[in-house]
Copies of this chain bind each other. A is one copy, B any other.
Amino acid sequence: MAANSSGGMHDAPLDNGFAGTDDLVSDWYIYETMEPDVPQDDTFSSVIPDCDPTISPKLYHVCMAPVSLAVLVGLSLLVKRRRLHRSCWNGVPGLLSPANFLEEGGNRGLVAAVFGILFSSLCVLVLDKDPLPLVAHSSQSTREYWKILALLYYPAFYYPLLACATVGHRISYLMGCLLSWCHCVVHIWQKVDCPQSPKIYRYYSTLSYIPIILCLVLLSLWYPALLIRSFTGQEETLSKEVTGRGYYKKYLKAILSKRPRKGSSAKIEESLLSRVQMYLRSYIYAPEEGFQIPLKLVLSITTAMIAVYQVALLLLVAVVPTIQIVRAGMTKDIVVLLVQFGLVPSESPAVPGDMEKELNTVKYYLWSLEVCYICSLVLCCLLTCAMLLRTLVMHRNNLKALYQGAVLDVFYKAHILRPSRQAIVCWMSFAAFQTAFACLGLLIQQVIFFICSVGFTFLVVIPLQSGTNTYLFKIIQNMWPFWLTLVVAVIVQNLAAHYQFLEHHSLRKELNNRRALYIVTYLLFPTNVLVGVLAGVWRMVISGLYNAIHFCQLDISLLNRSVETFDPGYHAYCHYLKIEVSQSHPVMQAFCLMLLQLARPEGPPGLRASNVEEGIQLMQPKKVPLSRARFKQSRARWWLAYTLLNNPSLTACRKTALSDPTANGTQLSTCKP
């Protein structure tokens, strides 16, 4: 670089060089005096008309916050009144549950939409000058405190939108309708009033609000649907969906109907093409009958997708307009400087008046940069979304394995699946972690891919087009004997290993010609060191790329298997799975529901006696004849042994094992019968 710049300066005649420098310096000072220390925001604001929406954010929040609070209190009282006649103060006091994360409810889309609104609000408030809309025009010193307060304010503000659905009453549905319509109308009105804002890029504010508006539109359609269904007599199905009984029944049916496994016997005859197809299909999440992803995972994927949108939008509007402005404002004086530094090739000496061609080259380079940036951003978004879909597939596989007790199919070491302090904390923050990791993963990928694509463009594509700056091709041209040697050495070793050093028997292969093997090993040692350097570079590249691409996947540890739980993401995932499997196992939930039905046959009209009988039949497929006690005992023992053999992870949960803390780490296996 330094050699280039000095070379460029040396080429230019002295007079011109000085003239150029003087011009530049005076230009610089003029620029300085014209715009003294103005932040970029205000530069843009000069062309964007000032705009005050009819409903200002402050007015909106000042009105809606008390309304939300009133709705919340009202709903609490409503729930209380409905249960008051059963037990006076031991009913359900205090706050309403936002969503039953561990039980299957019907309104998964609704909950996901509210979490999407919440995350989008977080994105807006982090970059905003007035994080708390109730307090307009906050000063620099107090802004930090308002931001912290806003972190708690927004969840509380949108709380009623969730609670209205969880209560499951007509009045609450009506409230939900009104609230969501209000929010939706106000947001759309604000953005129609003022589509442009001076922040970062004129349309950034509008674009970043799109997820919020879409989620609100979803809510304002969902609540009316719930309300209408509650009136049109579909109460039974509704109750089924609210309590999740529909799903649990489906899951049980899917498990108990032993379908013949297709293709398990024809596995060997699979062609390469079909295996590639299967591999690609493992990246695409297709819903499976009888299995449903838990609510928390749905939330995490939804917010992660919104995170990808928000981060990609920010990356796009923060850089691309700037490059475009620089390209439009490129002058011949700056081109002279670039030519002098050797960054732009030029045949003629650096005269500022005669730089038309070089100016076009510079503009072309800037355009290439822009294209690289956008291409890598698109690639990153696609990759991150693909990985998020893939992570859903992995979650489903892991959950199914754990539901069946195959702990070692999921974890490297045996784990006891029961709640603990860490597990609860990880479960609470799982969706947030997934979202944050998607943001960071996209950022890391964008940095890596942008550098790679710029390198590829400026070292391969542009030299091929223009025939200048062919550094890379010169290096390759100089070094081709070296590369050829390495390739030949590797091929020779492979051929020798196959034809000389390996004796092919019918079933086994044996080592042969040992002395020749030792001689080749010794003679090729220096060559192999160079091959090893290439392998090392490949190791670096592949591990870096793999980790960058899979950064957003929590189900994969980025560390070696012996220390994999030191990865905070994987650690959170493992603990999340523990809570999810131990607390919301579908079979257990179905069993609990049946017990509840048995305990109160006078319950809601949805729970009929026929269902109970059906459940009992499901749980007890055939009657055991009460005969000799010894036979029963031996049979029970056999069943126990068989169960433990097939689910060795259960041994860790047995009473004797539980009192022994070392039982945790022992390696057990899942030997399928």
B539 touches A568 (CB 8 A): yes
Are A479 and B100 also in contact (CB < 8 A) when A421-B494, A661-B268 are? Answer: no
B21 touches A25 (CB 8 A): yes
Query: Interface digits, A644-673 against B, CB 8 Å rule (1 contact, 0 not)?
Result: 000000000001001111100001111100
**Which residues of A, 491-544, contact B by the 8 Å Cβ criterion?**
493-494, 497-498, 501-502, 507-511, 514-515, 517-533, 535-540, 542-543
A203 within 8 A of B: no
Whole-angstrom CA separation of A312 from B501 in the bound complex:
38
Name which residue of chain B comes closest to A7, CB basis. B37
**Which residues of A, 551-598, contact B by the 8 Å Cβ criterion?**
551, 556-564, 566-569, 572, 579, 583
Partner of A433, one of B97, B118, B526, B532: B532
A144 touches B482 (CB 8 A): yes
B102 touches A436 (CB 8 A): no
A420 within 8 A of B: yes
B511 touches A579 (CB 8 A): yes
A324 within 8 A of B: no
B428 touches A508 (CB 8 A): no
B425 touches A98 (CB 8 A): no
**Which residues of A, 251-285, contact B by the 8 Å Cβ criterion?**
267-268
A145 touches B412 (CB 8 A): no
A152 within 8 A of B: yes
Q: Please give, as numbers and ranges, the residues of chain B lying within 8 Å of A441 by CB-CB distance.
A: 536
Q: Please give, as numbers and ranges, the residues of chain B lying within 8 Å of A560 by CB-CB distance.
A: 546, 550, 556-558, 561
Q: Please give, as numbers and ranges, the residues of chain B lying within 8 Å of A529 by CB-CB distance.
A: 119, 122, 432, 435-436
Query: How often does this chain occur in the complex, in copies?
Result: 2
Q: Please give, as numbers and ranges, the residues of chain B lying within 8 Å of A41 by CB-CB distance.
A: none
**Which residues of A, 614-640, contact B by the 8 Å Cβ criterion?**
none
CB distance from A330 to the nearest CB of B (A): 16
Interface with B: A153-161, A342-350, A462-470, which one?
Answer: A153-161
B421 touches A511 (CB 8 A): no
Whole-angstrom CA separation of A17 from B24 in the bound complex:
13
A32 within 8 A of B: yes
Query: Interface digits, A396-428 against B, CB 8 Å rule (1 contact, 0 not)?
Result: 000000000000110010000011111011011
Partner of A509, one of B148, B420, B563: B420
Q: Please give, as numbers and ranges, the residues of chain B lying within 8 Å of A440 by CB-CB distance.
A: 533, 536-537, 540
Q: Please give, as numbers and ranges, the residues of chain B lying within 8 Å of A493 by CB-CB distance.
A: 425, 428-429
B551 touches A539 (CB 8 A): yes
B527 touches A151 (CB 8 A): yes
Partner of A525, one of B6, B118, B661: B118
A485 within 8 A of B: yes
Partner of A437, one of B154, B268, B419, B532: B532
Q: Please give, as numbers and ranges, the residues of chain B lying within 8 Å of A435 by CB-CB distance.
A: 529, 532
What are the nearest 7 A-B pairs in CB distance?
A436-B532, A669-B669, A432-B528, A424-B497, A543-B558, A440-B536, A561-B561
A binding-site residues for B, Cβ under 8 Å: 6, 9-10, 14, 17-18, 21, 25, 28-29, 32, 92, 95, 97-102, 115, 118-119, 121-122, 144-145, 147-148, 151-152, 154-156, 159, 162, 267-268, 408-409, 412, 418-422, 424-425, 427-429, 431-437, 439-441, 444, 478-479, 481-482, 485, 490, 493-494, 497-498, 501-502, 507-511, 514-515, 517-533, 535-540, 542-543, 546-547, 550-551, 556-564, 566-569, 572, 579, 583, 655, 658-662, 667-671
Task: Given A21-B25, A421-B497, output 14 extra A-B contacts at Cβ < 8 Å.
Answer: A6-B32, A154-B526, A155-B525, A268-B660, A412-B561, A420-B502, A424-B511, A433-B532, A439-B533, A439-B536, A511-B579, A535-B572, A542-B567, A668-B671
Complex A-B: 25 CB contacts under 8 Å: A9-B28, A10-B32, A21-B21, A102-B511, A119-B526, A147-B482, A148-B482, A151-B530, A412-B561, A419-B502, A422-B497, A424-B511, A428-B493, A428-B524, A429-B493, A431-B525, A431-B528, A432-B524, A432-B529, A432-B532, A437-B532, A543-B559, A546-B560, A557-B560, A669-B671
